Structure 1
Amino acid sequence: MALDQNALVGTVPWAIKGELILNCNCTVFCPCVVSLGKHAPTEGYCQAWAGIRIDDGHYGDEDLGGLNVGLVLEIPGLMARGNWKAAAYIDDRASAAAYDGLLNIFTGKARGTTGLFKVLVSEFLGAERAPVVFETEGKARRLMVGKAIQGEIVPVVGKDPDTDIVVTNTGYWMGPDITVATATKGRVRAFGRVWDFDGRSAEICQIDWHGPQ
């Protein structure tokens, strides 16, 4: 029997494993990863898009595996000071129960790893069903959400081109190991935002999130 999600929000067991990519307006690697939000973004404020590929996951009894999510984030200064604005694009292949579950997860209502969204996001701009495409070709990752988000990121090339530059063992909320990347394309046309972040900072992170604890 399916769980009554509305009645049990914040108590439903959930988990997501997969990959997250993010591109922001920082000129070089985002300082928030290492400083854990104690250092301001390089431009003094953060504007970003993110994509999440769910390889395996569930919200209660509802399977989330194979679904993708796109996010738009806007942070006016230090991450920890809050006052974030956020919006979500939920894979249009999601069932009604999966859509509700993903919305609870990405608004922080489901608690757990993403529970900080409930505290830090002061304005949720909205959520829409959309064809959210997350592709990997070689080392390149692409997120395509109609005309709203068109992004591609690639790892920054190190001394050994076959080995990614990875910041490891961090306390970053997304995950401890962050691959340093850059955007070959980072275009957002969504919720009144018109952003172009080609050549700006990007991140790749393997995620293993869960809740409500």
Structure 2
Amino acid sequence: MDDWKIEGELILNCNCTVFCPCVVSLGKHPPTEGYCQAWMGVRIDKGHFNGVDLSGLNIGMLLDIPGLMARGNWKAAAYIDERASDEAFDALVRIFSGQARGTTGLFSVLVGEFLGAERQPVTYETEGKTRRLTVGRKVKGAVTPIEGAEPGEEVKVVNTGYWMGPDVTIAKADQGRVRDRGRVWDFDGRSAEICQIRWGSA
């Protein structure tokens, strides 16, 4: 059994025209367009995998889901920070393909076709409240929390059973561009979310 843990932040932008219904329905409600296409970024502030340090690395993902999230048959690809050692690369592939079980183990059940993992320059930056993810020339995204009634306070869905984390900040994509594996996606202005993550094998 692998021993792993990562803590940090996740951002996701999908093709839903309003905030992703999968968060509150736990994947039982269809995406607003009937299918889900998304890119995701993870900033690992602190992490390890069987003694291999993962702290400071960034991950990108592409997700292509034909219908209800809970029904599976996902296609997924992972982009691993080019700064990762060979051991860290292998560890992150195990985590983000679901092989390492634990929090991301559901990927091994829901992903029908893992399109592979590759090294890329993956940057995850925060400017004010905006988070930006760049994966080489393949993904360029930026998401910003939506405005709420109280100035300066983020709008959140809290205490959910969502697998990523219980509290999800509602955001909107300033930019959401994917150019890879035959996919040309532009999700500017579409649904996005920000989540603090604490994932692991237990």
Q: Same fold (TM over 0.5)?
A: yes
In the alignment, residue 42 of structure 1 is paired with which amino acid? T
CA separation in 2, counterparts of 1:55 and 1:43? Answer: 34
- Does residue 85 of structure 1 match 2:75? yes
Is 1:52 aligned to residue 46 of structure 2? Answer: no
AA aligned opposite 2:89: Y
The structural deviation recorded for 1:191 is 1.1
The correspondence for 2:60, drawn from 70, 76, 79, is 70
Pairing of 1:194-213 with structure 2 (within 5 A):
194-211=184-201, 213=202
Instruction: State the alpha-carbon separation in 2 of the partners of residues 157 and 56 from structure 1.
Output: 30
Equivalent AA in structure 2 for residue 167 of structure 1: V
The code of the aligned residue for 2:96 comes to: F
Partner of 1:182: 172
Identity %, equivalent residues: 69
**Counterpart position of 1:18:** 8
**TM-score normalised by length of structure 2:** 0.99
Q: Output one character per residue of 1:61-107: Cα deviation in whole Å (capped at 9) or x when no partner.
A: 10000000000001111111000000000000000000000000000
The size of the alignment, in residue pairs, is 202
CA-CA distance at 1:160 after TM superposition: 1.6
| 1:39-188 to 2 correspondences below 5 Å | 39-188=29-178
**What's the CA shift for 1:12?**
1.5
Task: Using the TM superposition, give the Cα deviation of residue 190 of structure 1 relative to its aligned residue in structure 2, in angstroms.
Answer: 1.0
Partner Cα distance (1:38, 1:88) in 2:
25
One-letter code of the match for 2:68? L
Indicate the RMSD between aligned Cα atoms, in angstroms.
Answer: 0.5
| 5+ residue gaps, structure 2 | none
Provide the C-alpha distance between the structure 1 equivalents of 2:161 and 2:69, rounded to a whole number of angstroms: 14
Counterpart AA for 1:165 = V
